[in-house]
Every structure is written in C-alpha cells, then in structure tokens.
Structure 1
Amino acid sequence: MNKIWINSLLASIPLLINAPMINAHAMETHMDGNKSPLTIERFNASPALAGTSPRGLKLSPDGKRVTYLVGRADNQSFYDLWQMDVATQKTSILVNADKLAGGELSDEEKARRERQRIYGQGIMEYDWSADSKAVLIPSAGKLYYYSLADKKVTELATDEGFATDARLSPNGRFVSFVRDQNLFVLDLSNNKLQPLTKDGGGAIKNGMAEFVAQEEMSRYTGYWWSDDESKIAFTRVDESDVEQVTRNEIYADGIKLTEQRYPYAGKNNVKIALGVVNIGSKKTIWIDLGKEQDIYLPRVKWLPGSEQLSFQWQSRDQKDLQLRVVSTNKPDSSQVLVTERSKAWINLNKDLYFLEKQNAFIWASERDGYLHLYLYDLNGKVKTQLTQGDWAVDNLEHVDEENGWVYFSGRKDTPTERHLYRVPLMGGEPEKISSRSGMHNAVFAEEKSVYLDYFNSLTQPPQISLHDAVGEKITWVEQNAVVEGHPIFDHSGLWRTPEFNKLKAEDGQTLYSRIFKPVPFDAAKKYPVVVRVYGGPHAQLVTNSWSEQDYFTQYLVQQGFIVFQLDNRGSAHRGTQFEHAIYHHLGKVEVDDQKVGVDYLRSLPYVDGDNIAIYGHSYGGYMALMSLFKAPDYFKAAISGAPVSDWRLYDTHYTERYLGNPVSNKKGYDASSIMPYVKGYQSGLLMYHGMADDNVLFENSTRVYKALQDEGKLFQMIDYPGSKHSMRGEKVRNHLYRSLADFLERQLK
C-alpha cells in the first residue's frame, strides 16, 4: 500500500461547487414548533419522536385496503396490525397482537430477524391471501389465520416446533413454512400437514437461506411457489465444509457458547443445490447448476406458466452473473439468457420481471456505469434500453402491462433524493410521478396501478398517502403532520436543517456533503465538529431524508457542536466508477475523501479546526479507526462502534466482493486492516461493541484492544453485555449516547 498522502490534497483547500439547496426546506433554519431542548432519554423513549410511523406497508391484492403495522403509544416497539378502507378512508385496528400467543423466538428466527433488521414485539410480519379475504400472521413460532369475513383469528395446526418463513401459496390454498430445517405445507382445505423434505437437520438445511444470502444478498428465504401452486422450488444447503466456530455471546449473567458455521473470507462456503418438489407427488427433481460448485445462488424466480424456473448464478469472485432459465421437464439443460461481467464486481438487485402478455422480461444492469432497466426477449436479446443517463435507478417498482408502463424509483434529478418515475414499456422518455422533494418509497397493489407513497424528508417524518397511476393523491393514510400534539412538536422549533455542498475528490469526482450548524449559531464564534460517517458500500448519509440516526445529531448541535457528513467514494447511488474506487483496497480513498471534507471545514471561519472528531458504527466504526490512526493531524478524537478490524474476520460474500481472495490479494487485505496503523494512534479514542454481536464479531474489537494495550496506548472502551450489532433497547441506547456525548464534551471542549 502507498502510505504517502498526495501532497496537493494535503496542501490545498478543496473546490466548493456552488450548488442550490436540495429544496426550499433545506434553506430554513428550523421547523415550526416549540423550543424545548431535546434530551437523549426523550429520543429513545415512547412515543416515538417521528410520530405515527407505520412499517410493513401493504395494499391488499384487490387494492381495497391499506394495511400496516403501528407501534403502541406506550411501547413504540410493540406492533398491532391496522387497516384503512380505501373507499371510506376510515382507519381501524385489524388484528390486536394480544390475540396471538407471545413467547420466545427460536435462535434461528432471532438470527433471521437480525439479518432482516426486524426489531420489536407483537405482529412483525403478515401475508395477504390472493383473494384479499384473509391474512396469515406468524407469531413466536405459531401461525395464525385471520378471516376478514368473520373477523376471527384461528391458530393453524402446525404441530410441535417453531414455524418460520411462513407464507400463503399464490392462490391461498396452502400455507408453507420451514420447521427443523425442513419444508412443510399445510392444506387449508382439509388441515392436512405434509413434509416436503425430510433430510434436514445438522448441516443440512432445506428451504432456508444461508448466512451470507441473508446478510449480504438480501435473500431471506430458500423457497419459491410456482404460480399454479403445483410446485415449490427450494434450496438445499449443506454447511458441512463451512468452518464451525464457537462464538461467545457474553451476557450480564453468563456466557452463551454458540456453535456457528461462519464462512470467513477465503474459506469454504456452503454447498448449494436447487430442487423443485411437486406438491402432489412429493417427488423432487434437481436442477443442474453446472460443474462449478463453489458458486452463489442469489435469486430464484418462476416464469409465468409455472413450467420454467429462472435462477441467477454468481461466480465466487462475483465478477460474473448469469441469468439462467430451465424447464422443470428438462432439469439438466438450462439456457443462459443474460451474462453480466465486471473487472471489479457485479452488484445484485431484485429487478427481474417476466412479462405475462409477451415473451419478454425486464432486467436491470450497470453495464453502462449506472443501474438502468432493459427490456429483453426470451432468447436473451435486448429489445430496448428503458432508462439511460448519468444517474441510477433504485428499484423496479411495478409493471402495468395493460397500459404499457414501467414504474421505477431512481435518482434522475439528484442523487440526494429518491423519486418515482414511469417509462413506456416499449421505450421512451421517463416521466416523474412524485413531486415533493425528499425520499419516496412506493408500494403498488398487485391488480391495479395504485400505490402507497411512503414519504419523508429532512423536515417531514414519514407519512403515507395513496396515489393513482399518474401520481395524484387519493387520500392520506397517515399524514403525520408536525402540529401541536405531535411528539416532535415541542422540540421542532430547535430542529436544525443542514446546508448541502459539493466538494471534489482527488480524481475529480463530486462528493456530496451536508453540515448542521449549532443551535443557536453565532458566525463570530468557532465551534468543534463531529464528523458522522458510515463510508461503506451500499449506503448513503447525505440525503434529504428523515432518519432516527439524526436525533443524536440534533442533540449535538443543541450542545454547541457542528455535525458534518460526507459520502465518500465507494458509497451508493453514484455509479460504478464512484463505487469501484475502493476495489482491492478498503480504507484508502474513503479516508482521503473524509480528509477533503475536513479541509473544507477548516476553510470555514466558524469552525475550530483543531477540535474535530469522527464517529461511526459498523463500517463507520472501521472508518473512524482508520481516520484517527492514519490521519491524526485531521482528527483529534474518534468514536468507533462495532468496527471490523481485520477483513479476514468477516464473511466471504461481502469481503471478497471488494477485496478478492485473501491469498491472491494478501497485500490488499493487510493494507485494509486496522492493525498496521495502531502505531499511528496518539490519543482520543472511544470504542464500543455489543458482546453478543453475531455480524461483526466481538473479536474485531478485542484485537484492537490488545494491540493498543501492547503498544501502551491509552484509550476508552464500553462493551455491552447481550447486545447485538444494532445496539437495541432503550436502556442500552440511553447509556450509549450519554457516554458518547460525555466523551465528545471532554475531548473537544
């Protein structure tokens, strides 16, 4: 690794591009409301500061009901299922979680929810029937069927054991689920329960997503129904070759030893097979995945007609991705429809859609440097490129074949906002559907082009509205207006909105940043700065969005700190050139870009350039350590939460995507590790970690602790017994943020 910083970067003040504010709100100092100071205890307490902020948004298949999960006023983490009748616009509770049995989750389900970032109690998941007459609700390993006609909740007969990943079949006749690592179906017409696999157990898992599929591919299931309900495609995972480690989960009252098969970078992955089981005969056929066995299977999807199955085949180095289609009548012969190749890596997406009225499909690709949508025929030939330009599509949201429209979310106007657009199915210019500045997440009904808009911005907590096909608002589902009586109203008069700026990286690419000034602000004073960072792939901080992570930012600015954020190269929604800058060497250009941000801060007359700290969690914790150790003349102090310290301790799919194999790229792994830079540490470090973290293992921090101790370096650490990677729990978060605030006060003032 080249350890010499570029002199021109160190010596120069970065060019500030004159850029308009993201929207009118960004020019305002505060929202309207009272001026009660925000406390750490308040932003972690119930009711939630964001107000009524539902999750689990769905439209019933017929589009007549909006359903969502709402946390209770006295416990924002306990959810009931609510509904809104679209015709009458009346809202009411649909299922009270008290009607369901509570209980402890299985270890497997706890891990699955941690992967999905699902936190809370009560009703956390539900599934609509195709006829919109019933809802399936899993709860603590039991399954419940709610009939809208008789308004009754019935516990389904799933026998003993913990049922997970449950769902209704496409036409609603069956309920499928996984128990004891086998796949089961329950026939609702006669309550007959049947196992579809029987060899699950130990290292064999049927119908279940392996660790890296859940954590790194956003694939949380291992089975897929055919549309006609006659078959289920499923994965059979064999973990026998994956290294088994004993992981210590340290709790306040003892240590839990957990045996876990963890695929460390460069080590063995699971062996994966893809089968199709016939519901009637229970016979399974196995799909030929090819000679190469050390692969990934990130996506599986049935084609209309239920006779052909598609799967995405990804090479171990993630430079090759193939879309293959196979007939269930000829499982040994698959056709490659699309091949994607990259000199760095291929990002996965969920944007494959097979049309029903023509032999074609929509596919998303970054082949021209940005994620865009393409229309293919079933022979694998491109018919038309649906979107193009120096901007990125976020997601394919909905296809209206009847009227010839493709709806997608993207960043056509600015990378700091997400909007909804539509483009003609046969090609043409995109139309912008959403209007308000901010972040729009659309949820469409299955049978018609109406959608829910889950909107938020810097000045608007999440609110939900129902819209027609051209974006006209039909009604509010949850307006969540910040008016008197709203939980945040008493504090909103002091709520600071940031200023957005553009800086230049050393390679000329644009870096977006935002700065929150103190409340009150005096331009004649000099203020200490906290740089809040994530900095890793597939993430973005500098947006016009509402975020619970910004509550601590608002607290800090009220304590007299400036808070600054910059999305360095490697982060999301900026195209492959911007992302691939980190390939084979992490922690280099990311730190360089954060230094550009500090150079800019030091050019401001109201910044105390000698008192700048950096704070981040997870990849941000890694960035905090790297920045303090490699650039102590830029950062006086750092807070590092749950950091990766050596990428050899992290999993295959994530780590090898960016660093390759640890044998062939030993130099890159060494240079990307925290450990070589420990000697550069001078002072001002606080580290914290959850002692039951099963994502970034606690060992990552203990290695840094030991290295610093061996060097005789003084630092502070706070470790949380029983806490996982996300540091959940009101008491834990109160203590954590109070500790962070106290540390910053002592270090920077």
Structure 2
Amino acid sequence: MLRKITLLFLLASLSSSINAQTSDLSVEKIMQDPQWMGTFPSDIRWGEHGETIYFKYNRDGDPSDSLYRIRIKAPKTIEKVSAKEKTAMIPQNGEYNKSKTKKVYIKDNTLFLYDLKKRKKTELLQTGNPLESPKFLADENLIAFRSGSDLFTYSTASGKIRQLTRIKSGAPATDEEKEGSAKSKWLQKDNLKLLRVVRERKEKKEQGKTYREMTKEKEPFTFYSGKKQVLGLQLSPNEKYATFSLMTRENTEKTIVPDYIDASGYTTDLNTRAKVGIETTERELAVYNLEKDTVYRVSTGSLPGIKDLPDYVKDYPDREWKSEEREVIASGVSFSDNGKYAIVNLRSKDNKDRWIALLNPEDGSLKTLDRQRDESWIAGPGIGWTMGGGTLGWLPDNKHIYFQSEETGYSHLYLLDVTTGKKKALTSGKFEVFNPFLSKDGKSWYLTTSEVHPGERHFYKMPVYGGKMEKLTSMTGNNEVSLSPDEKYLAIRHSYSNKPWELYLKKNASGAKETQLTSGQSEAFRAYPWRDPQLIRFTAADGTAVPARLYVPEDNVKNNAAVIFVHGAGYLQNAHKWWSLYFREYMFHNLLTDLGYTVLDIDYRGSAGYGRDWRTAIYRHMGGKDLSDQVDGAKYLIAEYGIDKDKVGIYGGSYGGFITLMALFNEGDTFASGAALRSVTDWAHYNHWYTSSILNEPFNDPKAYRRSSPIYFAEGLKGNLLIAHGMVDVNVHFQDVVRLSQRLIELGKDNWEMAVYPAEDHGFVEPSSWTDEYKRILKLFNTTLEGK
C-alpha cells in the first residue's frame, strides 16, 4: 500500500512538473532599467529649412537621451548632434512673420531675427534684463517683446526701442507718505520757525520746484498692480492695447510630505499642494489702453448664465443657495492679425461653463459668441481641463475664429464668423479631433482624429472651410506627425500594440509609402514574442459596450484564474493599438499570460477617447460606473473564458489603485485579491483642479465625496489586499495610505499588508523599487488565485 501511495505521489509530481507554467520573462527582467529594451525616438522636430529631422535618442548608451538628426538627403544615416552645433541651432520657440520668411526669437536674453531665405541670423538687442515673448506686429518692421513687467517695441528699420507700458507692483505713494510722518512734519515746522536761512532756502527750492512742475512734460502714466501678479501681458497687433491678467493668490495651507532619506541625513519637509476646496486663486482680465493712458478691468457680469446654479444643489434642499455671479478665469486674449477684433476664452471656476467672447478693448465689454455648458464638467480634447485654453485662433480672413467643442458629445472643430455669429461644424461623427493647425498658406487644416477606430490615430488634411478629409497616414496604430516647414514631408513617430515607437518619413501625399528611419529594439527585447492583445468590447449590466484589451493564455497552461488591470489617471486611454504608456505593465501582462492567467485591461467609464458621455459617467460618483465596469469585465471572463469565479484578482496604480480599493471593499464576492498602488483613499485629500471638476467641492457636495472615497468602505474588505506607496509622493500623498492603514487596524482587518518605498515619488524611477513592487504583486496573485 505504501509503495502504491509513493508511486501515485511521484506520478502526480512528474505530471505537475511537465505542466508547470513557465516564461522566458521574469519580474527582474521586465522591471530593470528600460534601456534594456533598446532606444526609441522622442521629441521629434524639423530644422528650420525642412532638410533635417531632429529627435531625442540614445544610440550610444549615454546616461540620458541626446539630440540626434537625420538628413532627408541621407535618410539611412543617424548622426549625433555635437554640443557646438546644438548651441548654434535656431530654437524651436519664437514667432514667424505672416509669410514664414522671418523668425524672431530670444536666446540668452538676446533678441534675434532669423532670415530664412538668406539663412542669416542677426542680433537685434541685448540688455541686462530678461526678454520674453517676441512677436511681429501688423507692421512687421516692429517687434513687440516683454521685459520685466512691461511691453516694448523694437524697430528693425531704425533700431529704436519704445516702452509702451509702465506697470509696477504695490501702490503709488500717498501725499502723507511723501511728506513724512506727523512727528517728522512737527520737527521740520519747528526747525523752519527757528532758522531764517533754512526757511529762505526752502522757500526758494519750493518756488523752483513749482516752476519746473509748470514747464515740464507730463509724467507718463503708471499702472500699479498692488499685491496682484501680472500675467500674460501682450500687445495688440495695431499697438493700441495691451491685455493682461491680474492674479491674486492667497497663502493657503499646504500639505507637508516628509523625506526620511534626504542626503543631509536629516528628515526634511517637502511643501506640496493644498487639498481640494482650499484653492483661493483669483484672476481678472485687464486692458491697458495705450492711447488713453488708462487701465480697466474686463467685466464678466454680462456672460449668459453667469449666475446659474449647478444641478446638484437639488440634492441639498435644506441648504440656502444664493444665485450670484460666479468667479471666472480668462485664458488670455487672441487678436486678429489686423488688430480689429479680439476674442477671449473664459471658464467658470466651478468648471460648468466655457464661454468664447468678443472683447471690445475700447471699454472692456464682452459679447458672447459661444457658450458650452456641462452640468458635469467642461473638458475634452482641444478644450482643456480647468484653466487650459485649448484650441482657439483666427483664420487669415480676420473674421472667422476656430475652436473645439463637445457640443455633439464628441470634441470637434468649429468655425464662427464674429461679424454674423454664424457657427459651422467642420468635423462631425462619433470620433474626436486632436491638435488641428492651419497650413502655411491658410487654405487647409491638418489634424489628427480617431475616425478609423477609437484605438487608432491618423493624420488628415482638410479644406479650411470644411469638406472631405484626406487621410495621409496608413500604418495601423498611433501616428504622431510633425510636418516639415515646406509641408512636403511628414516625420511620423509610430507605434503598434506590441511594437515601441520608431521614426518614419513620408512624402505629404496619401498614396506615398512610409520609410522607416530608426530601428531601436535591442536583441534581448526582440527575442521574446510580445503579444498583440485582442481589442474587444463586452456588455456591461446597463447594456453599454465597454472596450478592453484581452490577453488569453494557451490552453495547455491556462489556470482558470484572471487578473484585471485598471489604468491610472482616470481620464486616459489604454485599450488602443499603440505602444502603451504602461509598457512595464504590458510586459507584466505577457508574463502573467505565460503563467496561465487571463488578463483584462479595461477602458472603463471615465476613460479618454470615447466622447463626453463616457468621460462624465463618473461625475459625482467615482467608484460607480468605473467600478461596475470592472465587475462586469470579471463576469464576462467567467462566462466566456471559463474563469473560476473565485480566482479573479485586480490591480492598478493611482486612479487604478483607488478602483482596486473600491473593488476589494465593495465587491469582495467578485475579487479574491488586489494590489492597490499609490492610491487615492479619500478624495477630500487630493488636489483641487482635478477633484473639484468631478466631485465639486467637499463643503458644497459632501455626498459625492462620501460615496467616492474608499476609506469610508474599508469595513467591507474580504479578500487579500496589498497596498504599495512611495513615501515622497507629492501627487497622492503617503498620508492617504497611512490614514487608511489606521482605519484597517481599528476595524481589526488582518488580510492586508503594506509595502512602502522611501525613495519614490508618485511615478517610480528606481528599477529596484519596480522589481520589489511587482514581485509582491505576482506573489499575491500566485498565492491567492493559484494557491502556490
């Protein structure tokens, strides 16, 4: 009998060893310094004459990426740019004249003019003060620039410099301050009574001063900004007006993040952001009338709906809500090239409204041209988030403006005639538009869209007043295009799901073929057959088709366990056809699949790339639809791929860590284990600009915070939880997980552990930290889902 049992044991062990899941990958391999993968181009730009493509690269194994170039006439040769040549290059920043034949720029506090036809650089002006923001005016012989708090012009014809504004901080001295204190005035008066010579000299001095006051020219007007900071000072092309913002920033209570391993040997404190709801920044838009020597504020009281209350107030019937003028932030003024018109983009600080208005600089009044109202929050491609201005500008006809709006539910490009108010959509459909810009001659648009597929990006050309879009790229995946200055070539940074970024060159024609210029994958990276994950859609409980990436193991290694990955940032897309920002996680998913796990990576509600309704589905309830999508994804795997319902794990970082906590605390019957990395645990402790958009402010909408914060649901923990966090995280503070750990201790939970990383911020940088963290994640899943 003993022999029989021993034999059965040996046979079982042999069978187990034959079928054991193995992989050519390991956590140590995929989490090492990313240079092991090879070198891939970034920061693509053209030389001024369209003859050379410059990019960051690391072919020679330098400590960091260096500048390289490829000449169009010799596209197979990659050359490293010398330090001398790099210093002599014309900077990217600067402004062109209308015909794009001249460029003005500032380098080393010196104003330069570059003639592209003559290929000649001319030094125009050097001062001891910093110079900023050079710009050609309507009269292209004049160049405007900022120095200190003021605007100046430089004449290329005469070489003369003219100061246009006089702006000073503080306030002008009062008469009392000029005359001195009461004590000083008494001493002076007493002294003058006693000493005749002193009195006579003072009288003569006063007479001379009076005469000079009568005969001298009027002192130039000076605007005093008080305690407010002057931002965005710019000159109209006709030199009649300057516009700027006045910002008031009160000292708010910041959060301290201790650094326990500072080089000094002492614990040092990092002063970081305030918490949501503590934001007190105020910004006013002002006009400096140069002809009238006066400054006036732009009034926003006439904006339609400026006193509208948000819909969520109905959830608080016992509170008295006042309908009053909301605070507004202007993103800057855009003048037509002839200086006749000016437009301004304005946003309400409660994130519910975006107005585009015509500014009358003569009196500071506004005329609304377009209002976009969203009871959730205003955002989307080309629209910006909170203070961002997004896509906004003028056509060469000086009467049409262009901008992007989510009016139809997807971000599209619009034109509006400021003389008639007529608006026209240039693009439409269930896709989004990215980074539109005008051709050199102003007759066409170049733009990137997701029209082919939400998970693809392609580059198009379109007539300026609308019409058929000509697709100029053909490679499946993401095509980041940099157009040559002469618009003859496209430099394309392209990647696919399992192929990192490479550089390609193509003539600017839809039928032309792309030529690959770089091939940066290392032999070690190429040796592994990286998976091309399936792009699928599964049906959620509410009938919505949810996009996801799916990794399926071979039948002979399948372990009937699954891991769901939750991407970070919330508003981000990861179920796409290009090389992921989460490339380490992508490689980890290949390792998991080798080991028999089925992996699902979901673009849950709130993710980017699918329009306004998808983006705002989490409004006032993070951990609602974005969490139920993970639960429905697990149910899909159980039903369609034979996954054991007791063998589903979940993990993610940042927003993904937050969802993992909500999953373990609220859906314990679905998820057996989870790893929550750098997680938000209480949204009332996160930053203002992101959180107040989605959840409003905690003192105005506490219900939204209560149902969205994991710390309130910690008693629901059933499965096994790993918490991992960097101790010098200045984004999601370490305090978040400290508070949560105390809550778990008080609840008597013992099925959790925490790993801390003293040297890491929000995004880890040390390979040793990445390795330690992901070894713990793998161990968690192997132990709790497979019982290893």
TM-score range, shorter chain: 0.7 to 0.9
* Displacement of 1:511: 0.5
Q: Which residue of 2 aligns with 1:341?
A: 373
- Kept in 2: contact 1:37–1:494 (CA 8 A): no
The number of aligned residues is 657
Q: Report the CA distance shift for 1:473/1:512 in structure 2 as closer, same or farther (over 3 A).
A: same
Q: 1:59 aligns with which of 39, 46, 50?
A: 46
- Kept in 2: contact 1:553–1:563 (CA 8 A): no
Show structure 1 runs of 5+ residues with no match.
Answer: 1-34, 101-122, 208-221
Q: Which residue of 1 aligns with 2:760?
A: 723
Q: Which residue of 2 aligns with 1:20?
A: none
Determine helix, strand or coil for the equivalent of 2:631. Answer: helix
Q: Report the CA distance shift for 1:266/1:461 in structure 2 as closer, same or farther (over 3 A).
A: same
Q: Which digits, 9 at most, give the CA deviation of each residue in 1:660-713, with x for residues without a partner?
A: 233342222211111221000124212222222222233222221221121122
Do structure 1's residue 290 and structure 2's residue 300 form an aligned pair? yes
CA distance in 2, matches of 1:513, 1:489: 29
Determine helix, strand or coil for the equivalent of 2:428. Answer: coil
Q: 2:269 aligns with which of 240, 254, 257?
A: 257
CA distance in 2, matches of 1:731, 1:157: 49
CA distance in 2, matches of 1:719, 1:188: 60
* Displacement of 1:320: 1.3
* Displacement of 1:595: 0.6
Q: Which residue of 2 aligns with 1:107?
A: none
Q: Which residue of 1 aligns with 2:448?
A: 409
* Displacement of 1:548: 4.8
Q: Which digits, 9 at most, give the CA deviation of each residue in 1:173-201, with x for residues without a partner?
A: 9897999xx78999899999999865399
* Displacement of 1:57: 1.9
Q: Which residue of 1 aligns with 2:72?
A: 86
Determine helix, strand or coil for the equivalent of 2:769. Answer: helix
* Displacement of 1:615: 1.3
Q: Which residue of 2 aligns with 1:27?
A: none
Q: Which digits, 9 at most, give the CA deviation of each residue in 1:384-439, with x for residues without a partner?
A: 321112x1223142223747332222221211112223333333333322212111
Q: Which residue identity lines up with residue 56 of structure 1 in the other structure?
A: D
CA distance in 1, matches of 2:28, 2:120: 41
Q: Which residue identity lines up with residue 743 of structure 2 in the other structure?
A: A
Aligned counterparts, 1:642-661, within 5 A: 642-661=678-697
Q: Which residue identity lines up with residue 503 of structure 2 in the other structure?
A: I
- Kept in 2: contact 1:659–1:668 (CA 8 A): yes
CA distance in 2, matches of 1:643, 1:46: 24
Q: Report the CA distance shift for 1:340/1:730 in structure 2 as closer, same or farther (over 3 A).
A: same
Do structure 1's residue 436 and structure 2's residue 475 form an aligned pair? yes
Q: Which residue of 2 aligns with 1:362?
A: 402
Do structure 1's residue 479 and structure 2's residue 510 form an aligned pair? no
* Displacement of 1:543: 0.4
Aligned counterparts, 1:302-317, within 5 A: 302-306=335-339, 308-317=341-350
CA distance in 2, matches of 1:127, 1:167: 9
CA distance in 2, matches of 1:716, 1:184: 59
Q: Which residue identity lines up with residue 311 of structure 1 in the other structure?
A: V
CA distance in 1, matches of 2:767, 2:132: 30
CA distance in 2, matches of 1:516, 1:384: 43
Percent of residue pairs bearing the same amino acid type: 23
- Kept in 2: contact 1:320–1:340 (CA 8 A): yes
Q: Which residue of 2 aligns with 1:199?
A: 169
Q: 2:55 aligns with which of 65, 68, 73?
A: 68
Q: Which residue identity lines up with residue 40 of structure 1 in the other structure?
A: E
Determine helix, strand or coil for the equivalent of 2:600. Answer: strand
Q: Which residue of 1 aligns with 2:252?
A: 243
Determine helix, strand or coil for the equivalent of 1:244. Answer: coil
- Kept in 2: contact 1:535–1:623 (CA 8 A): no
- Kept in 2: contact 1:169–1:229 (CA 8 A): no
Q: Which residue identity lines up with residue 353 of structure 1 in the other structure?
A: G
- Kept in 2: contact 1:397–1:444 (CA 8 A): no
Q: Which residue identity lines up with residue 457 of structure 1 in the other structure?
A: Y
Aligned counterparts, 1:270-669, within 5 A: 270-275=281-286, 285=295, 287-291=297-301, 292=325, 294-298=327-331, 300-306=333-339, 308-328=341-361, 330=362, 332-347=364-379, 348-349=383-384, 350-357=390-397, 359-379=399-419, 381-389=421-429, 391-400=430-439, 402=441, 404-445=443-484, 448=487, 450-471=489-510, 473=512, 476=515, 479-481=517-519, 486-487=521-522, 490-518=525-553, 521-523=554-556, 525-534=558-567, 537-559=570-592, 560=595, 561-605=597-641, 607-669=643-705
Q: Which residue identity lines up with residue 256 of structure 1 in the other structure?
A: T
Aligned counterparts, 1:135-214, within 5 A: 169=135, 199=169, 205-207=229-231
Do structure 1's residue 687 and structure 2's residue 723 form an aligned pair? yes
Determine helix, strand or coil for the equivalent of 1:47. Answer: helix
CA distance in 2, matches of 1:652, 1:618: 16
Structure 1 stretch 454-463 or stretch 604-613: which is displaced more?
A: 604-613
- Kept in 1: contact 2:432–2:611 (CA 8 A): no
- Kept in 1: contact 2:337–2:398 (CA 8 A): no
Q: Report the CA distance shift for 1:288/1:581 in structure 2 as closer, same or farther (over 3 A).
A: same
* Displacement of 1:597: 0.4
Show structure 2 runs of 5+ residues with no match.
Answer: 1-22, 171-224, 302-324, 385-389
Q: Which residue of 2 aligns with 1:127?
A: 93
Q: 2:782 aligns with which of 742, 745, 748?
A: 745
Q: Report the CA distance shift for 1:81/1:703 in structure 2 as closer, same or farther (over 3 A).
A: same
* Displacement of 1:251: 3.7
CA distance in 2, matches of 1:40, 1:300: 52
Determine helix, strand or coil for the equivalent of 1:480. Answer: coil
Q: Report the CA distance shift for 1:133/1:299 in structure 2 as closer, same or farther (over 3 A).
A: closer
Q: Which residue identity lines up with residue 515 of structure 1 in the other structure?
A: L
Greater helix proportion: 2
CA distance in 2, matches of 1:447, 1:306: 27
- Kept in 2: contact 1:265–1:649 (CA 8 A): yes
What RMSD in Å do the two structures reach over aligned CA positions? 4.3
- Kept in 2: contact 1:461–1:480 (CA 8 A): no
* Displacement of 1:607: 3.1
Higher relative contact order (CA 8 A, sep 6+): 1
* Displacement of 1:580: 2.6
* Displacement of 1:724: 2.3
Q: Which residue of 1 aligns with 2:200?
A: none
CA distance in 2, matches of 1:183, 1:607: 67
Structure 1 stretch 583-592 or stretch 58-67: which is displaced more?
A: 58-67
Q: Report the CA distance shift for 1:230/1:545 in structure 2 as closer, same or farther (over 3 A).
A: farther
CA distance in 2, matches of 1:473, 1:225: 43
Determine helix, strand or coil for the equivalent of 2:357. Answer: strand
Q: Report the CA distance shift for 1:196/1:567 in structure 2 as closer, same or farther (over 3 A).
A: farther
- Kept in 2: contact 1:496–1:554 (CA 8 A): no
- Kept in 1: contact 2:151–2:235 (CA 8 A): no
* Displacement of 1:72: 6.0
Q: Report the CA distance shift for 1:679/1:229 in structure 2 as closer, same or farther (over 3 A).
A: farther
* Displacement of 1:748: 3.0
CA distance in 2, matches of 1:271, 1:384: 34
Q: Which digits, 9 at most, give the CA deviation of each residue in 1:19-42, with x for residues without a partner?
A: xxxxxxxxxxxxxxxx96365345
Do structure 1's residue 47 and structure 2's residue 35 form an aligned pair? yes
Q: Which digits, 9 at most, give the CA deviation of each residue in 1:299-318, with x for residues without a partner?
A: 65343235644321111222
Higher Cα Rg: structure 1 or 2? Answer: 2
CA distance in 1, matches of 2:598, 2:107: 45
- Kept in 1: contact 2:336–2:398 (CA 8 A): no
Determine helix, strand or coil for the equivalent of 1:620. Answer: helix
Q: Which digits, 9 at most, give the CA deviation of each residue in 1:438-473, with x for residues without a partner?
A: 112223346646433221111332122334443455
Aligned counterparts, 1:5-44, within 5 A: 37=25, 39-41=27-29, 43-44=31-32
Q: Which residue identity lines up with residue 346 of structure 2 in the other structure?
A: W
Q: Report the CA distance shift for 1:527/1:197 in structure 2 as closer, same or farther (over 3 A).
A: farther
* Displacement of 1:296: 2.8
